[in-house]
């Protein structure tokens, strides 16, 4: 059957498919923009991150510094006993209160606590009984996750490493030369 008999040739089919794909993409983009602009949805909505409280009994939060998208929920999971989360600072207008009971209430292994971060900015928190031991954390809420720029070119080698490499090469060459000389001309040791 020729393309004239079927009603649509290969080019016509490809044009129609391309048009349908473009229309679908435009509708999806418009819907996403509408949700974000209305405040009902954020870039991180539906995403979760986990912070382990006291992993393996250590006095830290893992991850200590966390960068998340606006609207992301952070699940705090206790891996050891006697910890809490008390908010030290947060952006103006934010409503994070930390764990119930403030600085007085402590929670043990197996406890879980979650909070969804919608206000942009930096949130600093501590475990009150272990703050002096360095049990502090930071969550930075951003519109877009930043990644460090890749280094351009090969890494810089310090002069001390270059000097050490040259000295090691000379020392190894001298040792091998001396060993060859002694093996070749060292004399007879069998007497």
Annotated catalytic residues are 83, 127, 130, 135
> In angstroms, rounded to a whole number, what is the distance separating the alpha carbons of residues 107 and 129?
11
What's the distance, CA 72 to chain centroid? 14
Residue 30 pairs in a beta bridge with none
Q: Give buried/exposed letters for 138-169 (b at 16+ CB in 10 A, else e).
A: bbbbbeeeeeeeeeeeeeeeeeeeeeeeeeee
SS (H, E, C) 87-132: EEECCCCCCCCCCCCCCCCCECCCCEEEEEECCCEEEEEECHHHHH
Task: With CA atoms as reference, report the closest residue to 68 among 163, 180, 178, 144.
Answer: 144
Task: With CA atoms as reference, report the closest residue to 52 among 81, 84, 75, 85.
Answer: 75
């Amino acid at each position: 059957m020729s393309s004239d008999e079927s009603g649509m040739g290969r080019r016509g089919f490809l044009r129609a498919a391309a048009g349908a794909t473009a229309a679908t993409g435009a509708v999806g983009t418009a819907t996403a923009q509408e949700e974000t602009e209305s405040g009902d949805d954020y870039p991180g909505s539906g995403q979760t991150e986990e912070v382990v409280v006291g992993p393996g009994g250590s006095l830290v939060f893992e991850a200590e510094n966390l960068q998340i998208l606006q609207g992301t929920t952070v699940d705090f999971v206790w891996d050891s006993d006697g910890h809490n989360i008390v908010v030290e600072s947060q952006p103006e207008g934010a409503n994070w209160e930390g764990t119930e009971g403030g600085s007085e209430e402590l929670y043990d292994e197996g406890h879980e606590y979650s909070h969804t971060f919608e206000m942009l900015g930096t949130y600093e928190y501590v475990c009150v009984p272990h703050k002096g031991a360095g049990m502090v954390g930071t969550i930075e809420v951003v519109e877009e996750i930043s990644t460090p720029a890749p280094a351009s070119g090969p890494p810089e080698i310090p002069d001390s490493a270059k000097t050490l490499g040259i000295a090691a090469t000379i020392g190894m060459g001298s040792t091998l030369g001396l060993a060859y000389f002694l093996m070749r001309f060292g004399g007879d040791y069998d007497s």
